[in-house]
Amino acid sequence: MKYIRTTLTVLGLAAALGGWPLTALAQVNGDPGIQNFEPEVPVIDQPDPEADPEFDPDQPIPQPVEAYNRGVNDYNAGRYAEALENFNQAIALRPDYAEAYMYRGATFNQLEQWGDAIVSLNQAINLNPTYSVAYLQRAFAYYNQDDWSLARADLDSAILYDPGAVRAYVYRAYLDIRQGSDSLAVEDLSTAVQLDDSNAETFYLRGLARSNLGNFNQAVEDFDQAIQIQRRYASAYVGRGAAYYRLGLSDSALDDLNRAVQINDRLPEAYFNRSFVYVDRGRPRRAIEDLDRAIQLRPTYVEAFLNRGIIQASTGNSRAAIEDFSRVLALEPDSAEAYLRQAEVRLASGDALGAINDFSEAIFIDTTYAAAYKGRGDARLATGDLQGAIADYSQAIDLRPNYLAAYAARGKVFTQVGDPQRAYDDLTQVILSDPQNPDPDVFYSRGRAQRALGISQGARADFQQAANLYLQAGEAEGYRNVLDELR
């Protein structure tokens, strides 16, 4: 029985990075946790009295610089309204003050006023077309407006004008991970590590990208580095625990995920990933408790609802499973998988017509969803629609030519509709393709097909093999059916 999804979610990037955090532009003291994962702004040069032969130390600093300095101090202290007033004053006194426009744009970013941020950063870039930090800030604003192409273009520019801009590489990698380009992300993050190997988040992100690529041993090494730099890095423990899980190291996975919960008991991904380990250990109730906690911490956690529904279904709690899948569909109406999972529960509960409707919804959302065609074929078979079942199984096979379960199901139906040759062909395909996992039902059905074709010796051999397999599996009913055929 399959308890859980086959794809393990390591850690959502939104949780890992807070959507693309930008807490402050200045250097931050304290733990370099994910909350401080932010672009670094180079110090803005102040007037250098030694470089000006006419400098008079008794003269006051020009007013635009005074206003600008006050704005920077306010910005770094989180007083964004006051910072805006001071940057506006600096700009009014000096309309070509690129640094003031940049910081004003950054302040608007902190206030989540993306349009205003872009306008101000446009001014900074117009005044200084090679202003790397301004491009980085504008990329942040574009990203939050869901314009990822412009965000990426600005990150490219930030790197072009400052090849040592570590944060630009990191954020470009972040975008690549979000868009599924994990190999590109690894390249950028490796460059970032070469430039600065003291940043835990860079190793953490590279670990995520390598996990997505299936390079779990390398991912573990990156998470190790992140944890060495920052001992209480809960998200890195989650990432490493998930990688250990994928490597089959259940004890190490559980240790890391427990450690993540100890460090931060409000990290939903820690509970979500730990539920996989508990399922593998045959503890579905404990897994459900972890998913309950993950959902409590994040009420919109679609993956947690989906996995909890799968576990509920596997333990026979159909009503709870349907509730969870319905919640997924309320949050994500185009989730083909949720419709498929819900359909499977309906079919197992005897509601074949309801299952057909749900499988059809999944197919409407994703016309290439082979499993949905296979499931709808099963549901149509349950209603007695044999030709409809054959049509759906055939579509599933067209979409996934190595779909042995669909071949097996279609072969059995061909036997029922009196087409023994096609039944024999399909069932033989299954037997030859997976000799290490013989299925007694397949041998039994092929035996019936061979008997209908007049191949008595082959039929008897298949029935005998089916009997042996049923006996090994302790399936008494199947064994009795075969014995009836052998008499």
In the chain the domains, ranked by start, together with CATH numbers, are: 404-487 (1.25.40.10)
What does the alpha-carbon distance between residue 463 and residue 477 come to, in Å, rounded to a whole number?
A: 14
Q: Report the alpha-carbon distance of residue 400 to residue 368 in Å, rounded.
A: 9
Beta-carbon-side half-sphere exposure of residue 392 (alpha carbons within 13 Å): 24
Task: Enter the tokens of residue 425.
Answer: 């062909």
What pLDDT, on the 0 to 100 scale, is given for residue 340? 98
CA distances from 392 to 31, 341, 384 (A): 56, 17, 14
Task: Say if residues 334 and 365 touch (Cβ distance below 8 Å).
Answer: yes
Helix, strand, coil % over all residues of the chain, rounded to 5: 70, 0, 30
Q: How far apart are CA 469 and CA 450, in angstroms?
A: 19
**Torsion over CA: 140, 143, 148, 149 (sign):** negative
d(CA 33, CA 13) in angstroms, rounded, equals: 15
Longest Cα–Cα distance in the chain: 115
pLDDT of res. 18: 29
Per-residue pLDDT of the chain (487 residues; tens, 9 = 90+): 233 333 333 333 333 332 332 222 222 222 222 222 333 333 333 433 333 444 455 555 568 899 999 999 999 999 999 999 999 999 999 999 999 999 999 999 999 999 999 999 999 999 999 999 999 999 999 999 999 999 999 999 999 999 999 999 999 999 999 999 999 999 999 999 999 999 999 999 999 999 999 999 999 999 999 999 999 999 999 999 999 999 999 999 999 999 999 999 999 999 999 999 999 999 999 999 999 999 999 999 999 999 999 999 999 999 999 999 999 999 999 999 999 999 999 999 999 999 999 999 999 999 999 999 999 999 999 999 999 999 999 999 999 999 999 999 999 999 999 999 999 999 999 999 999 999 999 999 999 999 999 999 999 999 999 999 999 999 999 889 888 888 7
Cβ neighbors of 43 (< 8 A, separation 6 or more) are none
Contacts of 63 (CB under 8 A, 6+ apart): 89, 93
Alpha-carbon gap, residue 291 to 393, rounded angstroms: 34
Q: Which helix or strand (DSSP H or E) is residue 326 part of?
A: helix 318-331
Structure tokens at 5: 């999804």
Cut 0.85: pTM above it: no
Rounded-to-integer distance, Cα 322 and Cα 349, Å:
11
pLDDT at position 431 is 96
Phi, psi dihedrals of residue 95, rounded to the nearest 5°: -65, -15
d(CA 274, CA 254): 7
Report yes or no: 346 and 354 within 8 Å, Cβ to Cβ. yes
Distance of CA 217 to the CA centre of its chain: 19
Task: Map residue 97 onto helix, strand or coil.
Answer: coil
- Using an 8 Å Cβ cutoff, are 182 and 209 in contact? yes
The per-residue pLDDT for 22 is: 27
- The rounded distance, in Å, linking the Cα atoms of 7 and 244 is 14
**Of the candidates 236, 243, 168, the residue with the CA atom closest to the CA atom of residue 212:** 243
Residue 369 in tokens: 């969803």
The SS3 of residue 387 is helix
Q: Within 10 A of 140 (CB to CB), how many other CB atoms are there?
A: 26
